[in-house]
């Protein structure tokens, strides 16, 4: 494996594999997505997909959500992790936005909302078809990026910065691609390195797996 990887070139097979793949949250509108990304923090996408239909039956749009109270919202999300804060964040967010048409569409305006960090904002921008302003770094990317060696450490903000520096903006969807890779191939234990499209340049595969076998 070369000591220095040409990441803009090396990342292309990964981007090709996951190009245009929809985020695992099963949303039907940007309103639904923004609510679901708030709920999914420190919880699983699968769990949020399960509870979402009932929630959106009662709160079909931002206007309906803005008329709720945190106490009412808690009844629908009580088995979601950190539900108390999330009910408060959703209520505050809806009170600010008021209607679907007012949902922000930039990183700065999205991260100004309660319960929306950089990762969530980057997801919303991606799924809205907007130009990326950052890189999605979730728990899968925190594992995959250092394994590949495109980034180091465990701080999501620092990992995002390193990926942004390693790749041109046109390839920043590598974050979501790494997330998909982490879900399907680059698992925490027993990663399927032999079938991974990145194994030729992956530090973990070439310097750890191969040398220990």
Same-domain pairing of 106 and 180: no
Question: Residue 152 is part of a domain; what is its CATH number?
Answer: 1.10.1670.10
pLDDT band at 1 (very low <50, low <70, confident <90, very high): very low
In three-state secondary structure terms, 147 is: helix
pLDDT band at 3 (very low <50, low <70, confident <90, very high): low
At residue 209, what are phi and psi to the nearest 5 degrees?
-65, -55
Burial of 59 (0-12, 13-18, 19+ CB in 10 A): buried
pLDDT tens digits for 167-179?
A: 999 999 999 999 9
Mean pLDDT for the chain overall: 96
Same-domain pairing of 156 and 193: yes
* Cβ-based neighbour number of residue 94 at 10 Å: 25
> Could you tell me if residue 167 is left (phi over 0), alpha (psi between -120 and 50 degrees) or otherwise beta?
beta
Orientation of helix 174-184 relative to helix 118-127, angle to 10°: 100
Asked whether the beta carbons of 114 and 89 are under 8 A apart, the reply is yes
Same-domain pairing of 39 and 96: yes
Same-domain pairing of 37 and 102: yes
Asked whether the beta carbons of 181 and 196 are under 8 A apart, the reply is yes
Percent of the chain whose predicted confidence (pLDDT) is above 90:
95
Same-domain pairing of 174 and 110: no
Q: What is the pLDDT of residue 213?
A: 73
Same-domain pairing of 92 and 148: no
Of 128, 33, 32, 35, nearest in space to 89 by CA: 35
* Cβ-based neighbour number of residue 153 at 10 Å: 12
Q: Tell me the mean pLDDT in the region 88-103.
A: 98
Domain assignment of residue 54, given as a range: 30-127
Same-domain pairing of 76 and 100: yes
Q: How many domains does the chain have?
A: 2
Asked whether the beta carbons of 98 and 43 are under 8 A apart, the reply is no
> Is 115 a domain residue?
yes
Residue 191 has pLDDT above 80, yes or no: yes
pLDDT band at 117 (very low <50, low <70, confident <90, very high): very high
Same-domain pairing of 123 and 139: no
- Measured CA to CA, the distance from residue 19 to residue 17 in angstroms comes to 6
Q: What separation in angstroms does the CA of 11 have from each of 16, 108, 167, 172, 212? A: 9, 27, 9, 10, 25
Residue 142 has pLDDT above 90, yes or no: yes
Q: To 5 degrees, how large is the angle CA 21–CA 24–CA 25?
A: 125
Residue that finishes a domain, picked among 127, 156, 191: 127
What Rg do the C-alpha atoms of the chain give, in angstroms?
19
> Is 182 a domain residue?
yes
Same-domain pairing of 38 and 108: yes
Q: What is the pLDDT of residue 2?
A: 45
Q: Any alpha helices (H) in the chain, and if so which ranges?
A: 7-10, 12-18, 30-40, 45-58, 62-66, 70-77, 83-97, 107-111, 118-127, 139-148, 156-166, 174-184, 203, 210-212
Same-domain pairing of 37 and 121: yes
Same-domain pairing of 37 and 61: yes
């Amino acid at each position: 494996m070369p000591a220095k990887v040409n990441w803009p070139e090396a990342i292309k097979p990964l981007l090709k594999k996951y190009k245009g793949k929809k985020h695992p949250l099963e949303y039907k509108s940007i309103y639904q997505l923004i609510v679901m990304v708030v709920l999914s923090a420190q919880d699983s996408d699968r769990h949020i997909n399960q509870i979402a239909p009932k929630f959106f039956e009662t709160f079909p749009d931002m206007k309906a959500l803005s008329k709720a109270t945190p106490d009412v919202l808690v009844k629908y999300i009580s088995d979601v992790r950190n539900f108390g804060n999330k009910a408060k964040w959703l209520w505050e967010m809806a009170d600010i936005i008021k209607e679907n048409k007012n949902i922000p569409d930039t990183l700065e305006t999205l991260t100004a909302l309660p319960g929306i960090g950089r990762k969530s904002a980057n997801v919303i921008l991606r799924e809205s078809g907007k130009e990326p302003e950052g890189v999605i770094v979730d728990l899968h990317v925190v594992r995959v990026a250092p394994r590949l060696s495109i980034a180091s450490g465990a701080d999501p903000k620092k990992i995002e910065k390193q990926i942004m520096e390693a790749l041109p903006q046109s390839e920043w969807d590598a974050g979501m691609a790494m997330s998909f890779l982490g879900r399907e191939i680059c698992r925490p234990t027993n990663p399927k390195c032999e079938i991974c499209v990145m194994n030729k340049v992956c530090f973990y595969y070439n310097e750890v797996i191969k040398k220990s076998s």
